[in-house]
Amino acid sequence: MIIEFLRQEHRNIEKLLRVLERELSLFGRAERPDYEVIRAVIAYFEVYPDVYHHPQEDLVFRKLKARDPTAAAGVGDLAAEHRSGAERLRRVAQAVQDVLTDQEIPRQTVDGIVRDFIAHERHHMAMEERVFFPAAITALQPQDWVEIASTLTDQKDPLFSAVVEERFDAVRKHILQLEQEAEAERV
């Protein structure tokens, strides 16, 4: 079911946030984090949510608004939250870029910017799991889910496809592998 799939994506996102957090903790201890790993995580977040995860959630949210506007209001402005997540990510990418090009940027500033991104992503996902998904499960009718599923797999413009999913899966595995190698080198 679609909600179960979205929850699984959240777990995948959480894994990558943890990678970012681990690298950041090295940075905080004045050690050198693995920038290849950090940049891979950033690149993933630059593509994946916008082309994949958010459009799926937006579809569900549109149905929720139609079925139960009050419950939708309780979720808040989902699109705005997604936009602000993208904005926070841009700040992360810029901060890391500044570090790598030897711009004078205080360690604490970078630390703050990355932590801000991680905290908001977690907060957003927690809200969706606590408020949004249960509201959708309650309010949406079987035909809504059928419609969502058919939009997601639309032949001309699919928002979900097994091929794309496999590709993202491969990217995630690659990042986790890089992280393992980086960890092994540090021991």
Sites of contact with Fe ion (CB under 5 A): 57, 128
Least separation in angstroms between CB 4 and Fe ion: 13
Least separation in angstroms between CB 164 and Fe ion: 17
Least separation in angstroms between CB 71 and Fe ion: 16
Nearer to Fe ion, 34 or 128 (CB): 128
With contact defined as beta carbons under 8 Å apart, do 6 and 57 qualify?
yes
Nearer to Fe ion, 100 or 119 (CB): 119
Least separation in angstroms between CB 101 and Fe ion: 32
Nearer to Fe ion, 128 or 179 (CB): 128
Nearer to Fe ion, 138 or 180 (CB): 138
3-class secondary structure for the chain?
A: CHHHHHHHHHHHHHHHHHHHHHHHHHHHCCCCCCHHHHHHHHHHHHHHHHHHHHHHHHHHHHHHHHHCHHHHHHHCCHHHHHHHHHHHHHHHHHHHHHHHCCCCCCHHHHHHHHHHHHHHHHHHHHHHHHHHHHHHHHHCCHHHHHHHHHHHCCCCCCCCCHHHHHHHHHHHHHHHHHHHHHHHHHC
Least separation in angstroms between CB 47 and Fe ion: 15
What is the C-alpha to C-alpha distance for residues 40 and 35, in angstroms, rounded to an integer? Answer: 8
Least separation in angstroms between CB 7 and Fe ion: 9
Backbone φ and ψ for 164, nearest 5 degrees, come out as: -65, -40
Nearer to Fe ion, 57 or 179 (CB): 57
Nearer to Fe ion, 4 or 104 (CB): 4
